[in-house]
Amino acid sequence: MVDELRESSAPTKGNEDHLRAALRDYFLSLRTPSADKKEVSAAEGCPRLDRRTKLRTVIPRLTLLILAALSVEKRSFQDSKRLEEDVDAALGGMKATLQDSLLDGNDVEWGDIVSGIKSTRAEADDIDATLKSDGGAIGHTIEEWLASPSPSTQKKGLLLCARALLAQEGSSSPSFLKSVYDSHLAERIVLLGLDCVEYRWLAGFLLRSENEHPLDRAASAEGLSQKSLGALQTALKKVEGAPMVIQFGDPERVRPLRRAVGSRDGVKALARGKCSIGLAMLCIEQGDRSMVAQLGLSVLLKGMDAPESDGFGDTALLCRQAACQIGASVDPRSLTYAQCTTIADACLKQIPAATNELEEFEAGLALTRLTGAVPDLRAFVANKRAWGIVRELAFSSNERVQTVGVEVLCNLSSTEKVQQWFSASTGSAEEDFKVLTALAFAEPLRIRTAATGVLATLLMEDDEERDFPIARMAVRNDMTVPSLSRIITDEHEDMGVRYRAATAAQAIIASGVDGGEDLIETLRNCKIASDSDDAVAVSMKELVRKTLELCEDSC
């Protein structure tokens, strides 16, 4: 069929009739039985498209119509590049119209297709002509088109701005980009909130600075220094035919833009336009995260599924990073359970993919907050193999990263998945138990608190039916029992840490496994200020008293 159309390059009346007849036969062969009785438009010589036609045939049918219409409009098929451009442009302009017609019952006629092609080509010619003007004239035209009440004209203004920016980039002249920021045109564009691909690309581009250049992350992942990356970019500009390196906005100009649109109206506009990358850029500023979580979180989270062809190829990655930032900053209780699980999943993917310690910290902190505030989420996270992912943070040389890592492990230690893993007493489990014991003596108090918390929880939840495998592991390693004794009897240690160590000791004693007898003597020698009214100190004294009474009764 396409070959027939290509051969009909001479725009004669006979060819026009031939094209229409061929199209009529083609459409009739594809129509459903229920549509066979529908009349063919004799006046136009082209069949109507029944709304029950399957959507999967929309594009090939529309392509044939466009090819035929272009021939009738005296467009030569000899210029294959122009033909390809016309077909692509018309497809983009008419796809939504045709899909709507299949759903609402309104038929698309031959004249609709021809009109759509003419309109699309006229719009493209209008933009091409405007691009030949100077920067001031282009900016004025963009302002005028964006101010129009017509969404199609607004869309044309967005497309003109995007093409002007890329044209300026191609000539290595960032003057137009600067003027877009300085004239507040960038702010007006973001606040437009038009649901179209032009808006999503342009708003995301304008809210992104050179500090978030996709090449920077790629270079970091490959171990390339910023100096080497800069040299590579400079070299590419000198090579004829080399791919263009996009230049984003100056951070000093982008930051004020983010502040201006980080309000309710700006976030609502980005959400309305489904600009997930723009919402992700706002999350760089900690003060904007709450508003994004409140008004644009669903759009942001959908961006994590964006294909590599979207934007600059890193939309999914940046949205995932933003989800971690929201999890680290926003009260989890203000989120739905589904949102919490999605963010937790993003954190678990972000940790191994992180290229710097800040990304590790934000993902770890988000997991700490989520698993701490939403108990039901702990099992979900643990079942995602979280222990093996998060444990790597516990070995970080960065104190903040290490702290949140151990705190996540503490929150997960009560889950059945983690309990079963330690109960299996594998070599890896025994090694992790030793690591946690060693971390109980770390300098940062939060790490000591979390580490002793893990030990206490694992031992308190030990499997009695399997004869207390975790307690036996603790005694067998010749490290845990002496360490617990040392912590319990250290009067200078934080009372919370001592209480958790005493809880772990009580669990070993209660299990009755051989080797835990020394802990009884430790509790007898434990000194707690008698006049202390601290709640934790009172709880510890009560724990020691009951444990010793239990030991005496069993003797």
What secondary structure, in 3-state letters, does 81-131 show? HHHHHHHHHHHHHHHHHHHHHHHHCCCCCHHHHHHHHHHHHHHHHHHHHHH
Residue-by-residue DSSP string for 192-248: H---SHHHHHHHHHHT-BGGG-HHHHHHHHTT--HHHHHHHHHHHHHSTTPPP----
What secondary structure, in 3-state letters, does 349-394 show? HHHHHCCCHHHHHHHHHHHHHHHHHCHHHHHHHHCCCHHHHHHHHH
d(CA 248, CA 111): 43
Distance from the Cα of residue 206 to its chain's centroid: 19
Contact at 8 Å (CB) between 130 and 104? no
Q: What is the pLDDT of residue 43?
A: 37
* Side chain identity at residue 161, one-letter code: C
**CB-based contacts of 58, cutoff 8 Å, min separation 6:** 95, 98, 99, 102
CB atoms within 10 A of CB 21: 12
Contact at 8 Å (CB) between 363 and 347? yes
Distances (CA, A) of 367 to 172, 363, 473: 43, 6, 28
State whether residue 514 is helix, strand or coil. coil
Residue-by-residue DSSP string for 402-465: HHHHHHHHHHHTTSHHHHHHHHTT-HHHHHHHHHHHHHTT-SSHHHHHHHHHHHHHHHHT--TT
What is the DSSP-derived secondary structure letter of residue 47? E
Q: What is the pLDDT of residue 430?
A: 95
Q: What is the pLDDT of residue 49?
A: 44
Torsion angles phi and psi, residue 310, rounded to 5:
-80, 135
Q: What is the pLDDT of residue 59?
A: 47
Q: In the block, which residue shows the tokens 């990263």?
A: 401
Q: Find residue 46's DSSP bridge partners.
A: 41
Residue 520: in which H helix or E strand, if any? helix 518-524
pTM to 2 decimal places = 0.76
Q: What is the pLDDT of residue 294?
A: 96
Q: What is the set of domains in the chain, with CATH numbers?
A: 2-131 (no CATH), 413-555 (1.25.10)
Q: What is the pLDDT of residue 64?
A: 53
Tokens matching residue 184: 């507040």
Residue 476: in which H helix or E strand, if any? helix 469-476
Given a cut of 70, the residues of the chain with pLDDT beneath it are: 1-124, 133-135, 168-174, 215-245, 531-532, 553-555
Residue 179: in which H helix or E strand, if any? helix 175-182
State whether residue 318 is helix, strand or coil. helix
pLDDT in tens, 287-304: 999 999 999 999 999 999
Which is nearest to 449 in space by CA: 497, 394, 504, 410? 497
Q: Is 118 left (phi over 0), alpha (psi -120 to 50) or beta?
A: alpha
Q: What is the pLDDT of residue 166?
A: 82
Which is nearest to 85 in space by CA: 99, 96, 70, 97? 70
